[in-house]
Structure 1
Amino acid sequence: MLKDKQIIHIDQDAFFVSVELLKNSSLAGKPVIIGGTSDRGVVASCSYEARKFGIHSAMPSRMARQLCPHAIFIRGNMEEYSKYSHIVTDILQEKVPVLEKASIDEHYIDMTGMDRFYGCMKFAHELRLHVMKETGLPLSFGLSVNKTVSKIATNECKPNGERQVPLDEVQPFLNPLSIKKIPGLGQATYIKLSEMGVRFIYTLSQIPQEQLFKVLGNNGTSLWQKAHGIDNSPVLPYREQKSIGTQSTFETDSIDTHTIKQLITSMVTDLCFQLRAQRKLTACITITIRYSNFETHTQQAKIPYTTLDSFLISKAKELFDKLYNRRMLLRLVGVKLSQLVSGHEQISLYSASEEQYKLYQAMDRIRNRFGEKAVKLASTINIKL
């Protein structure tokens, strides 16, 4: 059953490209591609002008260059994009009652009940203008009864648009849209539904829920609900976003920094695997040390959104070196990754090679099949502390 909530979905239009336009206005109106510049690279993001040529995220750069030979390729700067993502989040947190950061460039806002004091559409419109004025970045929003419908509404009014879908208009709004518009519907599911003759949300909504469950399992039930505009998932406050971490207390207090750094490497590698399995990115790393006298100290750093092992290992060791400066025995070390958001690694925006990232992916596949401890870096084997 549909509930009449007031949920705003905000999406920063072609975010990476928009940040580049702030630095170089001459790129406006041109087909711009962010990502790997070599033939072996991939597209991380592209301007709407580039999308007219059929270019999209995750497409091989070689194919993108064939589709649009005059496109402007920019390697990109994940640190800069992360900075602007934090700026937008900070602005929104000051203005709204409940904010969820869904990804590096997406937010949900729950304004339920606030329409009695202030029109939610008017508020969302003024909020959008305020963020654009403060940051110079374009964005779009959808306002509707839940996260699914508001997200679809945003996608239908992009770029630089606004769309409200009231409760009584939800089904008429959804019916004529392609099932591709449903968030979370992957290519394999699209092909299977297409083979059944299901290409539009209206057709999907007419299939009995039990039949969809037989064909697609729990995913079928979820799609049936979304086709009817049903989504009871709450907007989760950003301040409650979980962190993941681990720590180790040594059997014997130690000053063997070489071995301790090997342990930190192992910890970071395990945490990165967990993040990638959850399709999360981190924007903050914290190192904790505890001396033999039980004094505990921490050091943290904000970082570009990532799950890249080599980058986080290097940052973790750097923080450890800053922390450990007393040459006293240590009894514990810990690593925590926080400020988590949904997203995928943009490998083309880091200095790591494609081969290095493929190695991480191969290691992940082995871990997924044989267990988290099935494969490790050679330097982290047989650590004894």
Structure 2
Amino acid sequence: MEKKLPNSDRKIIHIDMDAFFASVEQLDNPEFRGKPVAVGGSKERGVVAAASYEARKYGVRSAMPSKTAYQKCPHIIFTPPRFERYKEVSAVIRSIFLEYTDLVEPLSLDEAFLDVTENKMGIASATLIAKAIRKQIFEETGLTASAGISINKFLAKIASDYQKPNGITLIGPEKAVSFLEQLEVDKFFGVGKVTAKKMHSLGIHTGLDLKQWTKEALRLKFGKAGPFYYDIVRGEDQRPVNPNRIRKSLGAENTFDQDLVEIEDMKMAMDPILQTVHKRLEKADKFGKTLTLKIKFKDFSQITRSITQTENIVSSEILKQLTFNLLEQVNWEDFPEGVRLLGVTCSNFEQDEAEENIKKTGYQLTIDF
């Protein structure tokens, strides 16, 4: 008999739309249906913002350079993103969620956590609620969604990805520990490619392998993330579903196989990173005034450089210009080591300013709609 996990009476659902951007394009353009579609970029330049499942069969993935996507799938269809349309469909999906519970935590336009422990429908089974939501989404939008059901956010997130597309997976409290022990660490939410590679080098391939490590040993090897890995492999995640969750920043970074020395090489390497950052900002419909450049060197030391504008950084060209300016302002003579990682983060969103005003004045302005 497995150990009873904390908060095992909670019922958390993670809903993740299937290839959302590409699926909306296939929905609105019947000639795209059943064909490999990439949203964003073109055959010549840019990066893929989203790929249909037909395109993924050829190895096309989001954040991939468009040129590479075309090489993998010469008959791929490129189409520009239409974020207003995606937000419109997302609003319909969000309204469906709210019919069942007010505890909805959106992660982006196409995914959200729902706490249905107590729900508006009075339905005892979270699995039945997930089935009803997926059915309603399909009936009202024509799109499919995958759902994961479990006792916490981490397990629900893993579950929703387990049988994609158009799947539903339940990880009950009695099966959570054994499920995690058998799962490959590559499939753990929060373990990226670089971390997975490091884990493999340490002989950690499955959850069971990970459980053999103490919390302190994981902290020494993986820093602040170590205790997180220690808890999640044991199915422990106390985080509540937060309907008021606010992202303070959005960004992206990349670790390179070979260290970069020339600034022109760094600029070329920054291009797909910046494309990803801009895509995430547009997807979340959040634009900030502060841009931060992160540089990690061969010896693992790192520096950051920031700039704050009077207006929100909206266009991809301004994003690139500001980033390149920060790169050029670094006194590279002080840092002879090669660069192993570059990253960019955008922060200082409008709601951050509103929060600061509330703290300073002690009241919140009301706005008539």
TM-score tier (shorter): 0.5 to 0.7
Q: 1:241 to 1:176 in 2, by over 3 A?
A: closer
Larger Rg, first or second structure (1 or 2): 1
1:152 deviates by 0.4
SS in 1 for 2:112: strand
2:6 corresponds in structure 1 to 2
Deviations 1:55-83 (A, max 9, x none): 11111111111111111111221221122
1:50 deviates by 1.1
SS in 1 for 2:217: helix
User: Map of 1:1-385 to 2, 5 A cutoff?
Assistant: 1-4=5-8, 5-113=10-118, 117-237=123-243, 240-242=244-246, 281=281, 305-307=285-287, 352=315, 355-362=317-324
Q: Between the two proteins, what is the percent identity of the paired residues?
A: 35
SS in 1 for 2:175: helix
SS in 1 for 2:285: strand
SS in 2 for 1:175: helix
Higher relative contact order, structure no. (Cα contacts within 8 Å, ≥ 6 residues apart) = 1
Q: 1:127 to 1:307 in 2, by over 3 A?
A: same
Q: TM-score, with normalisation over the residues of structure 1? A: 0.65
CA distance in 1, matches of 2:224, 2:61: 29
Q: 1:94 to 1:3 in 2, by over 3 A?
A: same
Partner amino acid for 1:76?
Answer: P
Superposition CA RMSD, Å:
3.2
1:378 corresponds in structure 2 to none
Deviations 1:138-169 (A, max 9, x none): 10100001011001000001100111110011
Moved more, 79-88 or 60-69: 79-88
Partner amino acid for 1:358?
Answer: K
Deviations 1:224-245 (A, max 9, x none): 21222211111001xx34498x
Partner amino acid for 2:180?
Answer: L
1:102 deviates by 1.3
- Counting matched residue pairs gives 278
User: Structure 2: 5+ residue runs without aligned partners?
Assistant: 249-276, 290-309, 331-341, 347-369
Partner amino acid for 1:361?
Answer: T
CA distance in 1, matches of 2:203, 2:322: 39
Moved more, 32-41 or 2-11: 32-41
CA distance in 2, matches of 1:336, 1:169: 50
CA distance in 1, matches of 2:91, 2:14: 17
CA distance in 2, matches of 1:241, 1:9: 15
Partner amino acid for 1:307?
Answer: F
CA distance in 2, matches of 1:60, 1:20: 20
SS in 1 for 2:169: strand
CA distance in 1, matches of 2:192, 2:205: 13
